[in-house]
Amino acid sequence: MRNFLSFINLKVSFLILVKLLKRNAVNLILIFLIILIAIFSQLKYQFFYNLHTISLGFIGTYQEHDLPLEVTRLLSQSLAEADTAGRFKGKLLAGWEVNHDATVFKLKLKDNLQWADGSPIRVADLELAIPNLEVKNLDDKTLQITLKEAYSPFPSLLTKPIFKKGILIGTGPYKITRLEKSRIFITKIELQPVDSALPKISVRFYPNEKVALTGFNLGEAQALFALSNPKSFVGNAQVDLLQKGDYGKIVSILFQTKDVLLSNRSLRQALGFITPGIEDEIVADNPYPPKSWAYDQTAKKYLSNSDEASAALERAKAALSDEKLKQEIILTATPNLEAVGNKVITEWKKLGLNVKLRVESGIAQNFQALLITQGIPQDPDQYFLWHTTQEKTNLTKYDSKRADKNLEDGRKIISEEDRKIKYFDFQKTLLEDAPAVFLYFPKYNIAYLKKAKPALDQVLNLHILGN
């Protein structure tokens, strides 16, 4: 009987609810539409966000040891830093001394340095993740580094932010309070400011650009770093875009110098001369950035020179039969460089060569010509990219005794003027041999909400990042 009464009461309540809904249907629909419009407006225009917390988004997979520089700079400073010309000076270091053969470096810390936890910085706290070092602590502020081989650019290895041995505590202005992972990769980091006047920072990591754009549009991030397609925000009046030249990377076409066809230097030169300059990109006519102290502006230039391309092709024909020149030349590119690859192929075909573009994910292990983005060091020492002995990183299999000697000497000499002589000759040799054609320095894209710029500038200096 009790169950029957409960059922009757439930039925009556349901009927009353239905009647109320019918009576107020117009108002309910109106409220529902207002909520939908509010949600849509917030997602599109980001009217509201927490002024005391900044949210940043990064595209890519990261672990503790390879966090983006924008994040590690919030946590700590580096021992040394480079200027725009690639010269190194102390940051947390007061300076250094080096012996005559560049095998022993004495590093001296500045006075009164502290970790973010308030403890003084001592050289015994430092953990230098650099192989083949003998480290000796001379006193609390002086560190002696002994190298197995001469390496004059050693200070260039000291530009990563430092952390207290064994833990991610740096010099500030922030410290990590929470770190979330999905298996081995970091998905989120919460940063607490050392100075309470600064906002908290939440950092999210997205595995790819599609997921990152969705997260940004949902309000998960006020700034999005490392976009490859800035056109995603064209027409969005609430979002601004910053671009900076990334001189730590270079987009090049690498030629396999052991290939039956491309072992011919004149043919490589012809392809280099006919290769087009890429519109709206920062031209790289050299393995070094134009601001580098080692850049030789008089060195051989390629790109968009059809007359020189024709002359080089005629020289190639003296060594290659017509039958060989009819063979296929395949340019391999990664998906993000497919559009650039198509522009290159269009020009190469004007030489009457049988050329095709192949798009592959990842770095191709076997190739004739490879369109690729490579990292380059701030110091002009590019030994690992071009020296004959570097089988894993010298992808072109470039083999030049003269270039090898210049690279070997350049990393042993201390004097900048003497090093410059070696690197000028290296450029002359490399560009004449043409194992690669250098296209441009890629741009690093940052999208951010205009309304959030004052808060972002407070900790990130977006106007500096955009230069």
Q: DSSP H helical segments within 148-231, as ranges?
A: 209-217
The answer for residues whose C-beta is within 8 angstroms of residue 361's C-beta and 6 or more apart is 334, 335
Q: Is the pLDDT of residue 452 over 60?
A: yes
CA gap 73, 390 in Å, rounded: 32
pLDDT tens column, 282-340: 999 999 999 999 999 999 999 999 999 999 999 999 999 999 999 999 999 988 899 99
pLDDT at res. 6: 58
**Bridge partners for 90 per DSSP:** 80
What pLDDT, in 10s, does the model give residues 105-132? 999 999 999 999 999 999 999 988 888 8
Out of 181-185, 350-354, 455-459, which region has the weakest mean confidence (pLDDT)?
Answer: 455-459
For position 361, what pLDDT does the model report?
Answer: 82
Contact 116, 171 (CB under 8 A): yes
Helix (H, G, I), strand (E, B) or coil at 278: coil
- Whether a cis peptide bond, with omega within 30° of 0, leads into 335 is no
State residue 284's pLDDT score.
96
Q: Left, alpha or beta for 286 (phi > 0: left; psi -120 to 50: alpha)?
A: beta
Q: What is the pLDDT of residues 242-275, one digit of tens each?
A: 988 899 999 999 999 999 999 999 999 999 999 9
Residue 466 has pLDDT above 50, yes or no: no
- Average model confidence (pLDDT) across the chain: 89
The residue-averaged pLDDT of 75-95 equals: 95
* Other beta carbons within 10 Å of 245: 17
Average of per-residue pLDDT across 36-41: 51
Q: Choose between 286 and 17: higher pLDDT.
A: 286
Asked if pLDDT for residue 449 goes beyond 50, the answer is yes
* pLDDT, mean of residues 27-50: 53
CA distance 35 to 26: 14
pLDDT surpasses 60 at 76: yes
HSE, CB side, 13 Å, CA atoms: give it for residue 386: 26
What integer pLDDT is reported at residue 20 of this predicted model? 61
Cβ atoms 447, 230 nearer than 8 A: yes
Q: What is the mean predicted confidence (pLDDT) over 402-426?
A: 98
Cβ atoms of 251 and 284 closer than 8 Å: yes
- DSSP letter (8 states) at residue 173: S
Place 43 in a pLDDT band, splitting at 50, 70 and 90: very low
pLDDT, one tens digit per residue, over 428-437 is 999 999 999 9
- Which residue segments constitute the domains of the chain, with CATH numbers given? 53-67+174-246+444-465 (3.40.190.10), 77-158 (3.90.76.10), 249-441 (3.10.105.10)
pLDDT at 131 (0 to 100): 87
Residue 465 in this model has a pLDDT that exceeds 60: no
Helix (H, G, I), strand (E, B) or coil at 19: helix
Ranking 57-71, 143-157, 331-345 by mean pLDDT, the lowest is 57-71
Average pLDDT of the segment spanning 340-352: 97
Confidence label for 229 from pLDDT (cuts 50, 70 and 90): confident
